């Protein structure tokens, strides 16, 4: 069996449940380090600066690009900028800690260009109808924003073949266990199960 590659990149269409899967990994697989991205978007209710994202203004984001502080970055849904702080990722990889990035497709392509040894996982919805249901059910975006995100999702779904693995998010714990396994970690049962 080959040695698991240490950097894992997870991408997938909007509202597929990347945030829920990330939260489950954080809780059940604390040995995985999850990168905290920088974004120019406003926090949603309940989001904490430094935990969900580092929330910054556009000037600071531009400065980070100029200084080469970002491993990758993208404007997502044609609106806000998101990026991965480079130094943190390199520090974790140097220490041999399994690291996971949860980013969009454009970002995943950039990482593939600079770190081809990383492994790329596409998190897919069980079906298109289910994706639409999850997106509209969240209720945090306006109708216009939902349309914009569905348009992005259509393009993103077409890119599955660029990835090393496709994980279907039909059940959060199951999907998380599969991702852990791909990262070389023994899946463990849900506590209390
Ligand atoms: P949201 O605004 O719903 O938290 O995230 C919107 C999108 O931005 C998601 O598809 C998410 O994967 C993506 N995203 C979050 N962080 C990053 C990042 O650091 N880089 C890139 N390229 N995309 C990101």
Provide the pLDDT for residue 1: 42
Q: Is residue 135 part of a domain?
A: yes
Provide the pLDDT for residue 149: 82
Q: Is residue 187 part of a domain?
A: no
Q: Which of 103, 122, 142 is the pocket-test mutation for ligand 1 (most atoms within 8 Å of CB)?
A: 103
pTM, to two decimals = 0.90
Number of domains in the chain: 1
Q: Is residue 79 part of a domain?
A: yes
Q: Is residue 1 part of a domain?
A: no
Q: Is residue 190 part of a domain?
A: no
CA nearest ligand 1 atom 17, residue: 103
Q: Is residue 96 part of a domain?
A: yes
CATH number of the domain enclosing 33:
3.40.50.300
Residues with CB under 6 Å of ligand 1 are 14, 18, 37, 41, 72, 74, 76, 82-84, 102-104, 106-107
CA nearest ligand 1 atom 1, residue: 14
Q: For residue 192, report the distance from its CA to the centre of ligand 1, in Å.
A: 32
Rounded to whole angstroms, the Cα distance separating 86 from 68 reads: 8
pLDDT beneath 50: ranges in the chain = 1-4, 193
Provide the pLDDT for residue 156: 86
Provide the pLDDT for residue 37: 97
Provide the pLDDT for residue 191: 66
CA nearest ligand 1 atom 15, residue: 103
- Its domain, for residue 113, covers 7-182
Q: Is residue 158 part of a domain?
A: yes
DSSP string covering 27-95, please?
Answer: HH-TTSEEP--EESSPPPTT--BTTTBEE--HHHHHHHHHTT-EEEEEEETTTEEEEEEHHHHHHHHHT
100: burial class by Cβ within 10 Å (0-12, 13-18, 19+)?
A: buried
Q: In sequence order, what are the residues at sequence separation of 6 or more whose Cβ sits closer than 8 angstroms to the Cβ of residue 117? A: 5, 7
Tokens in use for 138?
């969240």
Provide the pLDDT for residue 87: 96
Residue with tokens 């849900």: 190
| 18 sits in which H/E element | helix 18-28
Q: Is residue 118 part of a domain?
A: yes
């Amino acid at each position: 069996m080959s040695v698991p590659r240490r950097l894992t990149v997870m991408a997938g269409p909007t509202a597929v449940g990347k945030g829920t899967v990330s939260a489950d990994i954080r809780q059940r697989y604390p040995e995985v380090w999850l990168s905290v991205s920088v974004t120019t978007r406003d926090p949603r209710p309940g989001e904490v600066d430094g935990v969900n994202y580092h929330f910054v203004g556009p000037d600071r984001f531009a400065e980070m690009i100029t200084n080469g502080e970002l491993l990758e970055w993208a404007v997502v849904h044609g609106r806000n900028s998101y990026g991965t702080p480079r130094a943190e990722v390199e520090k974790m990889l140097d220490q041999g800690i399994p690291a996971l990035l949860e980013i969009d497709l454009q970002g995943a392509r950039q990482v593939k260009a600079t770190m081809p040894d990383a492994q790329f996982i596409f998190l897919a919805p069980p079906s298109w109808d289910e994706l639409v249901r999850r997106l509209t059910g969240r209720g945090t975006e306006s109708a216009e924003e939902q349309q914009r995100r569905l348009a992005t999702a259509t393009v993103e779904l077409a890119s599955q073949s660029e990835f090393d693995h496709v994980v279907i998010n039909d059940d959060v714990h199951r999907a998380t266990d599969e991702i852990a396994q791909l990262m070389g970690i023994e899946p463990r049962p849900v506590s209390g199960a």
